[in-house]
Amino acid sequence: MLNASLKQLSALLAQKKLSSVELTQFHLDRVARFNPELNAFLTVDAERSLAQARAADALIAAGKAQPLTGIPLAHKDIFCAKGWRTTCGSKMLANFVSPYDAHVVEQLNAAGAVILGKTNMDEFAMGSSSETGFWGPVKNPWDPARVAGGSSGGSAAAVAARMAPAAIGTDTGGSIRQPAALTGISGLKPTYGVVSRYGMIAYASSLDQGGPMAKSAEDLALMLNVMAGFDARDSTSLERPAEDYTRALEVSATDSDKPLAGLRIGVPKEYFGDGLAVDVAVAVEAALAQFEKLGAKRVAISLPNSGLSVPAYYVIAPAEASSNLSRFDGVRYGYRAPEYGDLADMYRKTRAQGFGAEVKRRILIGTYVLSHGYYDAYYLKAQKIRRLIARDFTQAYKQCDLIMGPTSPSVAFGLDSMLSDPVQMYLLDIYTTAANLAGLPAMSIPCGFGEGGLPVGLQLVGDYFAEGKMLRAAHQYQLATDWHLRQPAGTE
Ligand code: GLN
């Protein structure tokens, strides 16, 4: 059961060999067992989850089941879910119970999926280690002395430790892919606009995208089918015909030993330079060789502006964050300082007490780069670089179908080892931020182990709307390998 795919679980539910109540209880028990150490879940509400499971069982009994009906999923605590405490990892929202559902949550609920709980994260999704949240760090199931990555580290750890069959996360600069890589699971950030941001607490609106986190590409496809779709309440949501991503996984039987024949994989030289740990390089190299065995062709490419993606990202993301986070003022939501003088003093004290250090740092940077006199020098320049980065990809996709490389420059690092050096932490996003700046779909899949027996992730970046192509390549790789089925010792 621990390694069952969502499709297999769905079949067991359909055949009545298992009920959603049993499946949900099984995972709640695992949360009770592993969460005290891993700190992956912030809120569990067994009654609420089991009520949803009972409703799912009724749907199944009535013959009205859809593919995710009855499957419990862990939700990153950035998604508003009606009646659930939704904190975004912040003291600012410590007591906020959402009065409504995010679009993604609505879609999953309508499909009959069960909310298993809300997962831990970096505060307001700012971070690469899931250590900046108000409730303390998420620990990596492969080695609890290490981070699980961030900011969707709770969702990643929940899936890696098999506390949840799958989860949802968000990715502004790598927050689905990097924790997926560091915990040995699969994660996908869709093309910007494919998944609605309505009800997803905003960090940097032009970069934020929700997406699935699961054990395999096949599971991701099933989830994306439900999560994607037009929503008029998000002005950047794209209106396009629905795709069945599970159909994209299939290849015709005639090319069974070279299922990826004809696929051109672009390997950017900039992704294999200084700063990439040797153990990660070795595992990624082996994965590329495996793709060649499956029939794909390797093409050397260049993304000349890669080195500028972190600096551009760390101007644009904080700029948007400084604006988005102005809504947390002690008036409308969540925390308000218990003692204050006039209104300005109330704002000041509320924000001083409610936000953590990393969030304050981002608000200061964002306010600075947007201020008169610095706007042209920083914000405008970063926007120009963003355009150049997107153009690099457009050029590259004339030569290749998918781009592959490492997701993270190193395996999971020690808890507390980077917190005092924010710039060092920002540099970990070197391979992931470009896809967000360009709005491209990207994913990470496990491709081996490095130093300390810790998982290594392979990143795939596609052209706009190439989710199906990426998922097919990843699925064919996972049919030929078993990295994605490895499980941390002690979580059996
Ligand atoms: N590590 C990046 C940041 O801190 C990305 C976070 C994210 O994708 N939410 O902004």
Over the chain, what HEC string results? Answer: CCCCCHHHHHHHHHCCCCCHHHHHHHHHHHHHHHHHHHCCEEECCHHHHHHHHHHHHHHHHCCCCCCCCCCEEEEECCECCCCCECCCCCHHHCCCECCCCCHHHHHHHHCCCEEEEEECCCHHHCCCCCCCCCCCCCEECCEEEEECCCCCHHHHHHHHCCCCCEEEEEECCCCCHHHHHHHCCEEEECCCCCCCCCCECCCCCCCCEEEEEECCHHHHHHHHHHHCCCCCCCCCCCCCCCCCCCHHHCCCHHHCCCCCCCCEEEEEHHHHCCCCCHHHHHHHHHHHHHHHHCCCEEEEECCCCHHHHHHHHHHHHHHHHHHHHHHCCCCCCCCCCCCCCCHHHHHHHHHHHHCCHHHHHHHHHHHHHHCCCCHHHHHHHHHHHHHHHHHHHHHHCCCCCEEEEECCCCCCCECCCCCCCHHHHHHCCCCCHHHHHHCCCEEEEEEEECHHHCEEEEEEEECCCCHHHHHHHHHHHHHHCCHHHCCCCCCC
Residue with the nearest Cα to atom 10 of ligand 1? 126
Rounded to the nearest whole angstrom, what is the distance from the C-alpha of residue 365 to the centroid of ligand 1? 15
How many Cα atoms occupy the beta-carbon half-sphere of 265 within 13 Å?
25
Residues for the chain: how many in total?
492
Atom nearest to 171 CA in ligand 1: 8
- Phi and psi of 52, rounded to 5°? -65, -40
d(CA 368, CA 379): 9
Q: For residue 203, which atom of ligand 1 is closest to its CA? A: 9
The structure's pTM equals: 0.98
The closest residue, in CA terms, to atom 4 on ligand 1 is 127
Backbone angles phi, psi at 246, to 5 degrees: -70, -30
Phi first, then psi: what are they for 459, rounded to 5°? -95, 135
Q: Which atom of ligand 1 is nearest to the CA of 126?
A: 4
Rounded to 5°, the CA angle 179-175-41 comes to 65
Nearest CA to ligand 1 atom 5: 173
Give the whole-angstrom CA distance, residue 151 versus residue 406: 18
User: What phi and psi values does residue 299 have, to the nearest 5 degrees?
Assistant: -125, 125
Is the previous residue joined to 216 through a cis bond, with omega within 30 degrees of 0?
no
Point out which residues pair with 297 in neighbouring strands.
264
Q: 82 with 69: CB under 8 angstroms?
A: no
Taking the centre of ligand 1 as the mean of its atom positions, its distance from the CA of residue 203, in whole angstroms, is 9
Q: Which amino acid is at 18?
A: L
Q: What single letter denotes the amino acid at residue 483?
A: W
Q: Which residues are annotated as catalytic?
A: 76, 151, 175
* Residue 16 region by backbone torsions, left for phi larger than 0, else alpha for psi between -120 and 50, else beta: left
Of 138, 172, 426, 428, best ligand 1 pocket probe by most atoms within 8 Å of the beta carbon: 172
What pLDDT shows up at residue 253?
61
Ligand 1 center to 68 CA (angstroms): 29
Q: Find all residues with CB under 8 Å of 17, minimum gap 6, and list them.
A: none
**Tokens 């079949």 found at:** 11
Give me the phi and psi of 348, to 5 degrees please: -60, -50
Calpha distance 171→90 (Å, rounded): 18
* Mutation to probe ligand 1, out of 76, 132, 138, 151 (largest number of atoms < 8 A from CB): 151
43 Cα to the center of ligand 1, angstroms? 22
With tokens 């039987």, the residue in question is 253
Index of the ligand 1 atom closest to the CA of residue 313: 10
Structure tokens at 407: 């997701």
User: Best mutation site among 77, 119, 121, 122 for ligand 1, i.e. most ligand atoms within 8 A of its Cβ?
Assistant: 122
Q: What are phi and psi of 102, to 5 degrees?
A: -65, 160
Looking only at the bridges linking them, the beta strands covering 166-171 and 72-76 are parallel
B/e letters for 71-87, b = 16+ CB within 10 Å, e = fewer, are: bbbbbbbbbbbbebbbb
Distance CA 162, CA 4 (A): 10
Instruction: Give per-residue pLDDT as tens, 174-200.
Output: 999 999 999 999 999 999 999 999 999
Give the ligand 1 atom nearest the CA of 175.
8
The ligand 1 atom at the shortest distance from the C-alpha of residue 425 is 1
Residue 317 CA, ligand 1 centroid: distance in Å: 8
Nearest-atom index, ligand 1, CA of 174: 8
Asked if residues 457 and 447 have their Cβ atoms less than 8 Å apart, the reply is: yes
Q: Hey, CA dihedral for 206, 208, 209, 210, is it positive or negative?
A: negative
Enumerate residues lining ligand 1, CB below 6 A. 125-128, 151, 171-175, 203, 317, 429
| d(CA 170, ligand 1 centre) in Å | 9
Q: How far is CA 419 from CA 76, 413, 423, in A?
A: 22, 11, 10
Taking the centre of ligand 1 as the mean of its atom positions, its distance from the CA of residue 397, in whole angstroms, is: 26
Distances (CA, A) of 338 to 41, 47, 357: 28, 32, 20
> Could you read off the pLDDT tens digit of each residue along the chain, which spans 492 residues?
899 999 999 999 999 999 999 999 999 999 999 999 999 999 999 999 999 999 999 999 999 999 999 999 999 999 999 999 999 999 999 999 999 999 999 999 999 999 999 999 999 999 999 999 999 999 999 999 999 999 999 999 999 999 999 999 999 999 999 999 999 999 999 999 999 999 999 999 999 999 999 999 999 999 999 999 999 999 999 999 999 999 999 887 666 789 999 999 999 999 999 899 999 999 999 999 999 999 999 999 999 999 999 999 999 999 999 999 999 999 988 999 999 999 999 999 999 999 999 999 999 999 999 999 999 999 999 999 999 999 999 999 999 999 999 999 999 999 999 999 999 999 999 999 999 999 999 999 999 999 999 999 999 999 999 999 999 999 999 999 999 999 999 999
Residue tagged 């969540």 (tokens): 334
Distance 271 CA to ligand 1 centre (A): 19
Query: How far does the centroid of ligand 1 lie from the alpha carbon of residue 174, in Å?
Result: 6
Give the Cα separation of 242 and 230 in Å (integer).
9
